[in-house]
Structure formats: C-alpha cells, structure tokens
C-alpha cells in the first residue's frame, strides 16, 4: 500500500511539473516584443518642392498609397527608405513633418540615421512621407543655397545638400521670409536663379569667392564631391 501511495505522489508531482512547464511556456510566448506603428504615405512622383499637398499630382488624383507597418522602436528613416526603395522598385526620398499649429505642418528631410520614434506627427503618431527620387542627371548638383528676404527687407541664406527646402524658415530668417533666390553648386560653379528684382542677391552670392569656397568645402565634407 505504501508503495502505491509513493508512486501516486510521484505521478502527481510529475503532472504538476508538466502543467507548470506548459504554463511557463505559454507565458513566454505571450511576451510581445515592443513595436511602433508607422504610417507610410507613398507618392509615386518627384516632390515639386511645395509644402502645399494640394499641388501634388498624386494627391490631386487621390492615388497615394498608405501603409500601416509595425517596426522596432529604433527603426530609422534610412531603414524605411531602403525598405520602400526595394518594395516599390525605384529609389525613394523620405520626408517627415512637424506641426507648427494644427493643421499646418512643416515638411523636412530627416537624416537617414534619425529615429522615426523621435518625431511625433500632429495626431500623436508616427508618419513617413515617401516620394520618388529624382532621376540622376549629368548635372553634378552638390549643394543648394536658398536666399530669403524677410519683412524687414533683410536677406538670409540657408543651405540644403539634397535640394529640398528648409523647414522653420521664419524661425531662422525672420517673419514673412520669402524665397527669392536659388543658387546651385554644380561641380565647382555657382549658378543662380532669382525672382525679378533680386538678381543682385544671386550675383552677390555667385561672385563672392568666400561663398564658393565655403560651399565647395561644406559639400565635400558631407560626401558631395
């Protein structure tokens, strides 16, 4: 009789151990890896430089594609750029945006190493805008300078490595800052395109050896040689 009780006790212990083991395994499976949900809005057109989405051809025709993807919290804009270049079959440029005052947004191009999770959109979520990258041309565009004039009549020059417009211009150049000149560094030359009446500002930049030296050095330091 004692032997039977002993065997029954061992059997109960084994069953309980198995049940605990299964429960533990199920608990381990239930532990979810944290992710963030990112909305990717894809426009199969080259960005026209305007922040007014109503001017985008894809938006006008309601042809943009939207994706809701789950990513690791450390995902970068560069990773999403690589993923969607492969997914769409053509090179893309990635943008994000920040809210000035809802529903007004300022679009900008983040660095490829920047984390998406560092930029909340107007709806307290994460959004990435994907545009088709401009096809490469024989023109070796290394740097773009943007000349602005503010309400006080003072000029201000901002730069861009990829030709995209700057965001928060008013904060950097003063209230009512208006773009009047675009100056491109092509190889070792500066070329300007200014609105009527502002050619002098473009000429001053193009003919100033200090601007050329700075632009050439800055572009070279950032990989645009």
Tens of pLDDT, residues 39-84: 999 999 888 766 677 888 888 888 899 999 999 999 999 999 999 9
Residue 207 domain-assigned (yes or no): yes
Cα separation of 214 and 166, whole Å? 19
Q: Which of 98, 132, 166 is the last residue of a domain?
A: 132
65 and 127: one domain?
yes
pLDDT at 120 over 90: no
pLDDT at 193 over 90: no
Higher pLDDT, 101 or 82: 82
Question: What is the strand order of the sheet 92-101 is part of?
Answer: 65-71, 36-43, 126-132, 92-101, 104-108
- Mean per-residue pLDDT of the chain: 78
Residue 15 domain-assigned (yes or no): no
Q: What is the pLDDT of residue 36?
A: 92
Q: Which of 81, 98, 132 is the last residue of a domain?
A: 132
Whole-model pTM: value is 0.50
* Percent of the chain at pLDDT exceeding 70: 79
pLDDT-wise least confident of 2-6, 150-154, 166-170: 2-6
């Amino acid at each position: 009789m004692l032997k039977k009780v002993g065997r029954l006790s061992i059997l109960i212990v084994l069953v309980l151990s198995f049940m605990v083991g299964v429960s533990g395994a199920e608990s381990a499976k239930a532990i979810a890896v944290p992710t963030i949900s990112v909305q990717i809005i894809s426009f199969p057109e080259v960005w026209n430089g305007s922040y007014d989405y109503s001017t985008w051809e894809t938006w006008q025709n309601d042809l943009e594609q939207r994706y809701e993807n789950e990513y690791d919290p450390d995902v970068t804009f560069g990773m999403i750029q690589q993923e969607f270049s492969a997914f769409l079959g053509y090179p893309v440029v990635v943008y994000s945006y920040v809210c000035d005052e809802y529903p007004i947004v300022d679009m900008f191009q983040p660095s490829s190493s920047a984390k998406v999770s560092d930029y909340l959109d107007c709806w307290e979520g994460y959004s990435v805008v994907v545009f088709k990258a401009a096809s490469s041309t024989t023109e070796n565009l290394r740097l773009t300078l943007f000349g602005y004039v503010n309400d006080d009549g003072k000029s201000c020059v901002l730069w861009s490595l990829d030709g995209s417009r700057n965001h928060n211009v008013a904060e950097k150049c003063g209230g009512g800052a208006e773009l009047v000149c675009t100056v491109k560094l092509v190889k070792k030359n500066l070329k300007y395109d200014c609105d009527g009446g502002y050619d002098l500002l473009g000429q001053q930049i193009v003919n100033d050896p200090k601007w050329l030296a700075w632009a050439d050095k800055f572009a070279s330091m950032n990989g645009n040689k």
